[in-house]
Structure 1
Amino acid sequence: MKDSVIIVSGGLDSVTLLYDKAEEIALAISFDYGQNHGARELPFAEYHCTKLGIPHITIPLSFMHRYFKSSLLDGAEAIPEGHYAEENMKSTVVPFRNGIMLAIATGIAESHGLKRVYIANHGGDHTIYPDCRPDFIRAMDGAATAGTFVNVRIEAPYTNITKADIVRRGTALDIDYSKTWSCYKGADLHCGKCGTCVERKEAFQEAGVNDPTEYEPA
């Protein structure tokens, strides 16, 4: 039964969840909040939704680019290089981004009589992103359930698994990962050096799966 909304960015994680839960998803939502890589990732969200026959909308959140502080909104040159575990990666946090997106998706779910909102945060996000952690998801689930007539639930099935686990799952679903985007710099190719590129490389290596991503020359 198609009773769910999904937040899909066009990245590896959310595209995998899109395929994983395709039979349940009535509507997919992307957000354009002025992210450096929006022009690269959002078309992939549209591509996969079209391929699966899932209705897709992109909602503009231009106020975030105007009022929020994050290197993810400040251009490619502001993105630090290195591993997610490093302190400087905290600059890529967009304050309460997932809270804002989940609130909007919850309102849309209730407006359409849908009862679930899927989000694809995973275990590797916990290090630096407060709005990807299990306690945050539990709190948002409680708020969504209490604040809607249809008792919308927030579901984040990848919260406690790794990105490598997600790659394995997506490979089993025959997802073309060359048509997903991770790099926060948003150039023509993945830079291969920012935190999300490093994490992407490590996930394919750990999963034992060929990485189809085109990276800039080292």
Structure 2
Amino acid sequence: MLPEKRAADDYRIEPVPDRIAILASGGLDSSVMLAASARNRRSVYPVYVRAGLSWEPSELAILKRFIRALRMGNIEPLTILKLPMGDIAGDHWSMTGRNVPGYNAALASNYIPGRNLSLLAKTVIFCARARIGEVAMAPLESNPFPDARPEFFRAFVRAVELGVGIKLKISTPFAGMTKAEVVRRGADLPLELTLSCAQPKGAIHCGACTKCAERIEGFVRAGINDPTVYARKPKPSQRRYSNHSRLQAHKV
């Protein structure tokens, strides 16, 4: 006898109000977003996804320090999810730590195909089990990548509702902001306990990669003293990226 089919509503998961998961990387943007969400008196669940990227040990260590420094009781213990990507992209610079995009490289050189898709895939399953109805990410205005676009998030949310049974919201509160605006917003936070570097040595930024360049220039344009420790700190360049050229600089 065939098993009776269950209606889709039988699998429906009802989120608990005021819970939010923050995809936290230890970087400046997601750390400021984490603090802002906690200040809104919500129950905040920081989530870090380990994929095997070369800078993850440094990121994870500094993220834990940042969360401790906030001293906010509504931030839940950090959840660490594992989603190894070495079998797919083991030779990519983000895995090997070699030939990372340099200081004057285009922002598009930071592109890791499917990065947001992979981050979200496991996070939403965690959210369903924890009955969390919102996930926040921190792409900025300058992010040109296909999996950071509103249409991608809309399609992903629909797929999650159909396949997982939870009505999920993906929020991107900094999508219309520049790096300088995020720096200003987080000016009262311990921003020295954030990391934006493709080849860090512990908590020390290299000062020579594209990620460091964006960070350095963000502080300069914000008019705020940069507390970051760099192995070397170049003078900010006058880099500008057109929407037409961003994606042309990277091939995997």
Range with greater deviation from structure 2 (194-203 or 43-52): 43-52
4+ aligned runs moved over 4 Å, structure 1: none
Match of 1:216 in 2: 231
Q: Between Structure 1 and Structure 2, whose CA radius of gyration is higher?
A: 2
* Greater helix share, structure number: 1
2:106 counterpart (85, 106, 124)? 85
- Which stretches in structure 1 are left out of the alignment for 5+ residues? none
Q: Counterparts of 1:70 and 1:125 in 2: how far apart (Å)?
A: 20
How far residue 151 of structure 1 moved from its aligned partner, in angstroms, is: 0.4
Letter in 2 for 1:52: M
Q: Give 1:24 shift.
A: 2.1
CA distance 1:146–1:161, shift in 2 (3 Å) = farther
Cα distance change of structure 1 residues 138 and 202 upon mapping to structure 2, 3 Å threshold: farther
Amino acid at match of 1:14: S
Q: C-alpha distance in 1, partners of 2:141/2:87?
A: 30
CA-CA distance at 1:19 after TM superposition = 0.3
Aligned length: 209
Could you tell me which of 44, 51, 56 is aligned with 2:62? 44
Does the alignment pair 1:186 with 2:200? yes
Q: 1:9 aligns with which of 9, 25, 41?
A: 25
- Aligned residue identity for 1:116: E
Amino acid in the other structure paired with 2:156: M
Judged with a 3 Å threshold, the aligned counterparts in structure 2 of structure 1 residues 37 and 180 are, in CA distance, closer, same or farther, namely same
CA distance in 1, matches of 2:83, 2:93: 17
Gap change, CA 1:145 and 1:158, over 3 Å in 2: farther
Higher mean displacement: 184-193 or 46-55? 46-55
**Gap runs ≥5 in structure 2:** 1-16, 234-252
Contact 2:140 2:178 in 1 (8 A): yes
Question: Could you state the TM-score of these two structures normalised by the residue count of structure 1?
Answer: 0.87
1:74 and 2:109 are equivalent in the alignment? no
Equivalent residue runs for 1:165-184 within 5 Å:
165-171=181-187, 174-184=188-198
